[in-house]
């Protein structure tokens, strides 16, 4: 075989070997685009109806599932920790990116008087999976959050906002769900959710403090 014929054959063989070697953990998965207008619409709905945490999308990315949430918390005075107000999620880790406002949050794995969350709770079913509520956190870390900051809360770490000094704090939440314990949520489902009236809330309700 002449060199002119050999070279294309070698290149083809090398390309075929490279293609066979590709083993992505998410095969033939499309990218997911979420416009700013959709994120802003969730924040507007939160302010209007007094909703704290809303799941925007949830996507299967292969070995894990990824959720995107928008959270708006209203003004919160520092005071005694209410019984059962600490949240912990057993299987889902969370990443916060602060968009607007400031707040103080405590975190830590050593929960005081933990009580299992009910399996039929909306947040358990659709947002952050099974977990516990507790009366406090022993040896808690305290984080003072402001716009542009990020906070990573691993699964099993308790957390509670203890103060929001201004009118509100708004942040985007990325939920990492390796066990795929919550359902996916598509663009179509998101659009329908934005149009639907909220459950058990009204325009005059304050933003609820649920974690």
Per DSSP bridges, beta strands 111-112 and 136-137 are antiparallel
Residues 6+ apart with CB under 8 A from 39: 56, 70, 172
Cβ partners under 8 Å of residue 211, min gap 6: 53, 85, 86, 87, 159, 160, 161
- Look up the CATH number of the domain holding residue 132: 2.60.120.10
With respect to residue 14, please indicate whether it lies within any of the assigned structural domains.
no
Q: Cα–Cα distance between 12 and 18 in angstroms, integer?
A: 10
**Cα 140 from Cα 179, distance rounded (Å):** 27
Is residue 17 a part of any domain in this protein? no
Token pair of 24 as six digits: 């992505």
Residues 6 or more apart whose CB falls under 8 angstroms from that of 6 comprise none
| Residue at 103 is within a domain | yes
Do residues 58 and 184 lie in contact, with contact meaning Cβ atoms separated by under 8 Å?
yes
| Structure-token match 């542009």, residue found | 148
Domain assignment present for residue 205? The answer is no
Is 131 inside a domain boundary?
yes
Q: Please report, in tens digits, the pLDDT of each residue of the chain (211 residues total).
A: 555 565 565 556 555 555 567 889 998 899 999 999 999 999 999 999 999 999 999 999 999 999 999 999 999 999 999 999 999 999 999 999 999 999 999 999 999 999 999 999 999 999 999 999 999 999 999 999 999 999 999 999 999 999 999 999 999 999 999 999 999 999 999 999 999 988 744 333 344 444 6
Query: Is the residue at 5 inside a domain?
Result: no
Q: How many domains in the chain?
A: 1
With respect to residue 11, please indicate whether it lies within any of the assigned structural domains: no
Is 162 in contact with 76 (CB distance < 8 Å)? yes
CA distance 140 to 171: 22
Q: What does pTM read for this prediction?
A: 0.84
Cβ neighbours, 10 Å, residue 36: 7
What is the domain range of residue 71? 29-195
**Which of these, 62, 26, 55, lies nearest to 39 by C-alpha position?**
55
Rg (CA), the chain: 22
Instruction: Supply the pLDDT for residue 198.
Output: 82
CA distance linking residue 180 with residue 64, whole number of Å: 6
Among the listed residues 100, 64, 78, 77, the one whose alpha carbon sits nearest the alpha carbon of residue 178:
64
The answer to the question of residue 69 being in a domain is yes
Q: Using CA atoms, how far apart are residues 145 and 163, in angstroms rounded to an integer? A: 10
The pLDDT score that the predictor gives to residue 201 is 42
């Amino acid at each position: 075989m002449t060199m002119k014929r050999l070279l294309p054959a070698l290149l083809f063989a090398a390309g075929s070997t490279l293609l066979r070697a590709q083993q992505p953990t998410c095969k033939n998965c499309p990218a997911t685009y979420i416009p700013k207008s959709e994120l802003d619409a969730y924040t507007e709905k939160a302010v209007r109806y007094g909703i704290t945490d809303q799941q925007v999308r949830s996507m299967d990315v292969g070995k894990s599932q990824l959720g995107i949430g928008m959270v708006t918390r209203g003004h919160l005075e520092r005071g005694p920790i209410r019984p059962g107000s600490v949240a912990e999620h057993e299987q889902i880790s969370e990443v916060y990116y602060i968009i607007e406002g400031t707040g103080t949050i405590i975190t830590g794995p050593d929960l005081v008087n933990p009580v299992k969350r009910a399996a039929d709770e909306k947040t358990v079913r659709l947002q952050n999976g099974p977990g516990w509520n507790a009366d406090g956190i022993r040896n808690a870390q305290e984080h003072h959050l402001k716009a542009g900051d990020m906070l990573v809360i691993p699964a099993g770490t308790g957390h509670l906002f203890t103060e929001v000094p201004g009118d509100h704090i708004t942040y985007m939440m990325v939920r990492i769900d390796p066990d795929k314990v919550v359902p996916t949520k598509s663009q179509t489902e998101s659009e329908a959710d934005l149009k639907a009236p909220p459950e058990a809330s009204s325009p005059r309700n304050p933003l609820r403090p649920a974690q």
